Amino acid sequence: MLRRWLRWSLRGLMAAVTGAILFILYLTYGRPKMAAPSAVRAHATPERIARGEHLVETICDCMGCHAPRDFTRFGGPVIPETKGEGGVMPMAGLPGTIVAANITPDPETGIGAWTDGEIMRAIREGVDKNGRALFPLMPYTDYRYMSDEDVESIVAYLRTLRPIKKRQPETKINFPANLLIKLAPAPAGHVAAADRSDKHAYGKYLATIGGCLECHTPLQKGGRDTTKLLAGGRLFQFPGASVRSANITPENDTGIGVFTEEFFIHKIRSYAPYAEKESPKTGPESFTLMPWLNFWRMTDEELSAIYAYLRTVPPVYNAVPIHD
């Protein structure tokens, strides 16, 4: 009996060691899960370009990362002439130098030489033109749920940007994150359009691709703490300033439980004058990454749907000091 137990224990140990070695070899030499880029062409109809502009400039706030910003002003408005040129991410605590790519149609330094399918794969699946995993600060794990029509609309709009010839440095990720990010990408497959007649489902869709879950859920061991979904508290540190995301669960004392739909929409819209004119100069005490300067452009239907979704998430008591 003892010999049999030792024999099976040894086999189990060898299997575990073999599995660990294979996993390490995969992380070191393997490629992320990926599908071949789609052969679909994002035909640039006026309606699709308009939808793509709304997604890029408003809902997804793509330029919040893919363009330099003036953080001396409230909301860090994008410097218009740099739209899409990318740049090194200034956030503290990242495992290396993370660079947002040039996403203008410049063929040498941007995505002008990429196929539509390669761009769509990068957005939703986290794999670049050469099959390398993108660092998931690019929220492709949420964009994975973006509909086919919406991602094609984004591509159609990006093709209309002014090409900017600016070569960005390569992303340099420290060990072991440089290996572990290979586990993040996954094929998206076909994604149907969100059902706009289902207010809750549509709101969840918008909150997902709009970054609400990403920014307003605290982290735990490198991933989202699902027990505190949308409860805020995630810390974002930048040179000279830091901010924590707010609790947007329907909890009355520390969240937005007392917000009516009318007040919620009014709150988002109240920053329209800053965007239409020029946002005021501000110091670290008013530093924010919340894209107030973009979100006010959402339609009543979109904001109402997001509000409806937020009312359904579990309320979490979490008092968040926005600034230290």
pLDDT digits (tens, 9 = 90+) for 52-78: 999 999 999 999 999 999 999 999 999
Phi, psi values for residue 3, rounded to 5°: -65, -40
183 & 203 share domain: no
Task: Decide if pLDDT at 165 tops 70.
Answer: yes
- What average pLDDT does the segment 277-281 reach? 92
Q: Which of 133, 159, 193 is the last residue of a domain?
A: 193
212 & 319 share domain: yes
pLDDT range class, residue 10, cuts 50, 70, 90: low
- The reply to whether omega before 176 is within 30° of 0 (cis) is yes
262 & 323 share domain: yes
**324 within domain boundaries:** yes
- What average pLDDT does the segment 185-207 reach? 97
Q: Which pLDDT score is estimated for 74? A: 96
- Hey, what are 106's tokens? 């410049």
Task: Decide if pLDDT at 5 tops 90.
Answer: no
3-state secondary structure (DSSP) of residue 220: strand
Q: Which of 129, 159, 193 is the last residue of a domain?
A: 193
pLDDT range class, residue 32, cuts 50, 70, 90: confident
- What average pLDDT does the segment 220-239 reach? 93
**204 within domain boundaries:** yes
Q: Which pLDDT score is estimated for 303? A: 98
230 & 111 share domain: no
Q: Which pLDDT score is estimated for 274? A: 94
Strand partners, 237: 242
311 & 223 share domain: yes
Q: How far apart are CA 113 and CA 157, in angstroms?
A: 16
**18 within domain boundaries:** no
**112 within domain boundaries:** yes
3-state secondary structure (DSSP) of residue 90: coil
Query: Contact 312/207 with Cβ under 8 angstroms?
Result: no
309 & 232 share domain: yes
- What average pLDDT does the segment 252-276 reach? 97
Q: Which of 174, 193, 212 is the last residue of a domain?
A: 193
Domain count, the chain: 2
Mean pLDDT of the chain: 92
318 & 272 share domain: yes
158 & 284 share domain: no
Q: Which pLDDT score is estimated for 24? A: 58
Tally the C-alpha atoms within 13 A of residue 197's C-alpha that lie toward its C-beta.
Answer: 0
Q: Residue 276: which domain range?
A: 194-324
189 & 41 share domain: yes
Strand partners, 172: 97
pLDDT range class, residue 312, cuts 50, 70, 90: very high
217 & 84 share domain: no
218 & 174 share domain: no
Task: Decide if pLDDT at 21 tops 90.
Answer: no
**25 within domain boundaries:** no
Q: Which pLDDT score is estimated for 14? A: 53
61 & 45 share domain: yes
Q: Higher model confidence: residue 80 or residue 23?
A: 80
Task: Decide if pLDDT at 164 tops 90.
Answer: yes
**53 within domain boundaries:** yes
Task: Decide if pLDDT at 99 tops 60.
Answer: yes
The closest alpha carbon to 98, from 171, 168, 170, belongs to 171
Among 6-10, 41-45, 201-205, 284-288, the range scoring the smallest mean pLDDT is 6-10
Task: Decide if pLDDT at 221 tops 90.
Answer: no
Task: Decide if pLDDT at 27 tops 90.
Answer: no
- Measured at the CA of 203, the angle between CA 257 and CA 137, to 5 degrees, comes to 95
pTM (2 d.p.): 0.92
